Amino acid sequence: MTDTAASKASRNAFFLVLVASLGYFVDIYDLLVFSIVRIPSLKSIGLSEQEITDKGLFIINVQMAGLLLGGIIWGIIGDKLGRIKVLFGSILLYSLANFANGLVHDVNTYALVRFIAGLGLAGELGAGITLVSETLSKENRGYGTMMVAVIGLFGATAAYAVAKFGWRNAYFVGGGLGILLLLLRMGTFESGMFKNVEKSDVSKGNMWMLFTSWERLKKYLFCILIGAPLWYVVGVLISFSDKFGAALGATTVIKPGDGIFYSYIGIAIGDIVAGLLAQFTRSRKLTMAVFLILSLVSVHFYLSDTGITPERFAVLSFFMGCTVGYWATFVTIASEQFGTNIRSTVTTTVPNFVRGSLIPITFAFNAFKDKYGYIHAGYIMMAILTVISLFALSQLKETFGKDLDYLEIS
């Protein structure tokens, strides 16, 4: 390759990583903005304190259901029609939904629009990670996916800052960011691996292939299970920190929005550390194991902090965020486990199924909470999820440095 060609390839790769990173930035902005504005937005449309808790959980679950369905749809489209089409279609649907979200005045409309936004956003991370993994060299793709996660996760801090100007404005800004990203993507290019597969007669985007082989199915399920603790920490322990704070005897109301802000700064830093650790040890599995154990420790500090103050909560949220900062590593593991003809399907559905796992997790948590209270239920769920994740991780093969140019044959 000539110097000119190498320079052009390097610029293209940088632009692709940037586009994927900003896509994930918008993804996280939207996913977290509801948790940040949940209380003021639901209070604004006339809900009581108890309704804010109950209906807030309902809306979160509806949004997660949209992510589940969208993950399947966009994943299949990515393998059948190309990764780029997913990046355009998903961000357009998301943008329209966010503009609509700023106009809602009742719970049912709020939930419906959150479902559509979840449906749209479901394709962002998977398509971006797939493109980066297939474009960068096997030695450097870990750095690329790490940068996608790091830049993307600061979408949470943006949501926190914008929300201070009103919850409706926060949704309008989210829609505007999506439109700007749509324009930026005009210069993106398709994965070379996909182009090669596109010309072949091999089955593409056939999700049924995951169920026709027991080995593939096990591998797929294990990829989902290793990420569940992260969304429990963010979606339950931090998003409902006002309730945990009361159970811990806090004299000042603990604000979930503050926890989201500090935890996502921590997650971004954790993703950098996890990415570098994986590159240094040449093992994504070891990196995941270290972070899963550390997350259990961080949750213990949180749930045992009697009389917690907003200041200590901010520090603990940051600490918990750092220890669950394995999102990029986890998604990269999933992407590397499967062939090019179903890689988009897997890489898009796995993180969204992990997000969607918040539905059964919250149901199980509530069952434990009703019997044992917030604190003991918090411990029980974290212990269960960590044990399951460590077992699932032990069953997966190490994929660091693996050549991804191969197919899954039914």
Gap between the Cα atoms of 367 and 373, Å rounded? 10
Whether the CA torsion 267, 273, 276, 280 is positive or negative: it is negative
CA dihedral 367, 290, 326, 257 (to 10 degrees): 50
Over range 364-370, report the average pLDDT: 94
> Which pLDDT does position 9 carry in this prediction?
58
Which of the given ranges, 116-120, 194-198, 317-321, has the highest pLDDT on average?
317-321
pLDDT beyond 90 at 130: no
Share of the chain above pLDDT 70, in %: 96
Q: Could you tell me the pLDDT band of residue 138, with boundaries at 50, 70 and 90? A: confident
> Which pLDDT does position 236 carry in this prediction?
92
Convert the pLDDT of each residue in 79-98 to its tens digit. 888 888 888 888 889 899 99
- What is the rounded average pLDDT for all residues in the chain? 87
> Which pLDDT does position 344 carry in this prediction?
87
Over range 113-137, report the average pLDDT: 85
- Considering only 65-69, 101-105, 221-225, 321-325, which range has the smallest mean pLDDT? 65-69
Share of the chain above pLDDT 90, in %: 37
Which of the given ranges, 12-26, 35-49, 122-136, 230-244, has the highest pLDDT on average?
230-244
pLDDT beyond 60 at 292: yes
**DSSP secondary structure code for residue 106 in this structure:** S
pLDDT beyond 80 at 149: no
Which token pair is 363? 């149901």
pLDDT beyond 60 at 309: yes
pLDDT beyond 70 at 50: yes
pLDDT beyond 80 at 308: yes
> For residues 351 and 67, is the Cβ–Cβ distance under 8 A?
no
pLDDT beyond 80 at 3: no
Considering only CA atoms, give the Rg of the chain.
Answer: 20
Convert the pLDDT of each residue in 334-362 to its tens digit. 989 998 888 888 988 898 888 878 889 98
Q: Name the pTM for this structure.
A: 0.82
Over range 268-282, report the average pLDDT: 89
Q: Could you tell me the pLDDT band of residue 373, with boundaries at 50, 70 and 90? A: very high
> Which pLDDT does position 322 carry in this prediction?
95
Q: Any idea where the domains of the chain sit in the sequence?
A: 11-188+203-395
Q: Could you tell me the pLDDT band of residue 233, with boundaries at 50, 70 and 90? A: very high
pLDDT beyond 80 at 213: yes
Over range 154-159, report the average pLDDT: 80
Q: Could you tell me the pLDDT band of residue 58, with boundaries at 50, 70 and 90? A: confident
Over range 45-56, report the average pLDDT: 82
Convert the pLDDT of each residue in 162-177 to its tens digit. 988 899 999 999 999 9
Length of the chain counted residue by residue:
410
Q: Which amino acid is at 350?
A: V
Which token pair is 157? 């801090």
Distances (CA, A) of 213 to 78, 218, 244, 323, 396: 22, 9, 43, 34, 15
Q: 110: which residues sit within 8 A by CB, 6+ positions away?
A: 41, 42, 45, 59, 101, 104
CA dihedral 223, 283, 271, 144 (to 10 degrees): -90
Gap between the Cα atoms of 250 and 6, Å rounded? 58
**CATH number listed for the domain at residues 11-188+203-395:** 1.20.1250.20
Distances (CA, A) of 120 to 27, 71, 237, 243: 9, 9, 26, 31
Phi, psi of 206 (to 5 degrees): -90, 95
Q: Which amino acid is at 47?
A: L
Report the 10 Å Cβ neighbour count for 405.
Answer: 12
pLDDT beyond 80 at 45: yes
Gap between the Cα atoms of 385 and 259, Å rounded? 21
> For residues 302 and 324, is the Cβ–Cβ distance under 8 A?
no
Q: Could you tell me the pLDDT band of residue 199, with boundaries at 50, 70 and 90? A: confident
> Which pLDDT does position 256 carry in this prediction?
85
Place of tokens 């239920």: 377
- Considering only 133-137, 241-245, 359-363, which range has the smallest mean pLDDT? 133-137
Give me the half-sphere count of Cα atoms (radius 13 Å) on the Cβ side of residue 333: 34
Gap between the Cα atoms of 131 and 84, Å rounded? 8
